[in-house]
Amino acid sequence: MLRMSTRDQHPFLGMLKSPKQTLTSLFYDARFLWAFLILWLGGISGITIISRLQNVGDDTSLLTILLSVIIGGFVMGILGWFLFSILYMFFGSLFGGRSDFSHIQIATAYSLTPLATNTILTLIPLLFLQEHFFQVQSNTLSTFASITLLVFSIIEVIALLWSFILTVGSVSEAHRLSFGKSFLTVFFSWIIVLVILFGMLLTFNTLS
C-alpha cells in the first residue's frame, strides 16, 4: 500500500500531523501562498484574543470589530512574522544556531498553524454569540454564553501552547539547535514581543 509522501501532503495538515518532516520539505518548497494565509489567520487569532481581553463588545458594533480584526490580523501577522523571524535569528545565533534567514521565516510562519486553526474554530461560537463573543468580562451573559466562552478560552490556551511548542521544534529544526536552546530562543523572543504589546496596550488605554 502506497503512503502519501510528506511533500504531497497539505502543508496545513502536515504541520499538525508530522511537523518535522513537513517543515523539512517546506525549506525547499515554501508554498508562500499558504504561509501568508496562515500568517493572516494567526494574526486574526492574536487580534481576537486581545479584543476579547479588552471586552470591546461592550461599546463597539460587531461589524466594526470584525473589520478591525480582519484588517488588523493581516497587519499583525506580517509585522509579527518579520519581528519574530529577526528575534529567532538573533537569539538562535547567540546559542550557536546556523540557519538561513529564509528557513527561519518559513519556520516562523508555519508554526502558527494551531493559531490559524483556532481562527477557523472561532466561527462556531461567533455565529451563536455574535457581539457577546467579545464580552468576556460581562456580568449579563447567559449561562450558555458563559459556558461557550469558557470552553473556547480553553481552546485558545491550548492553541497558544501548541503554537509555542511547535515554534520551539521548528526553530530547533531550522537552527539545528537542541530543544533546550531552541526553547530559550523562543522564550526570550516571546518575552520581548509581550513587553512591546503590553506597552502598546497601556499607552492606548492611557490615551483613550
Distance CA 134, CA 126 (A): 9
Q: Is position 48 within any domain? A: yes
Asked if residue 12 belongs to a domain, the reply is no
- Characterise 199 by phi-psi region: left (phi > 0), alpha (psi -120 to 50), beta (else): alpha
6 is a domain residue: no
Alpha carbons 155 and 63: distance in angstroms, whole number: 24
What does the pLDDT profile of the chain (208 residues) look like in tens digits?
A: 334 344 456 787 888 888 888 888 888 887 888 899 999 999 999 898 888 877 887 788 889 989 999 999 999 999 999 999 999 999 999 999 989 999 999 999 999 999 999 999 988 888 888 888 887 766 677 888 888 888 888 999 999 999 999 999 999 999 999 999 999 999 999 999 989 888 877 887 676 6
Cα(107)–Cα(174) distance, integer angstroms? 7
Residue 54 belongs to domain spanning:
27-207
**Amino acid at residue number 162:** W
User: What are the grid coordinates assigned to 9, written together?
Assistant: 501532503
CB 28 within 8 A of CB 6: no
Domain-embedded: residue 10: no
Tell me the whole-structure pTM to 2 decimals.
0.84
Nearest to 108 by CA among 123, 130, 90, 132: 90
* Residue 11 counted as domain residue: no
In sign, the C-alpha dihedral spanning 149, 11, 180, 45 is: negative
pLDDT at 164: 94
Q: Is residue 202 part of a domain?
A: yes
The answer to whether residue 122 sits within a structural domain is yes
Residue 18 within any structural domain of the chain: no
pLDDT of residue 9: 63
Instruction: Name the domain count of the chain.
Output: 1
If one counts every other C-beta atom within 10 angstroms of the C-beta of residue 7, the result is 14
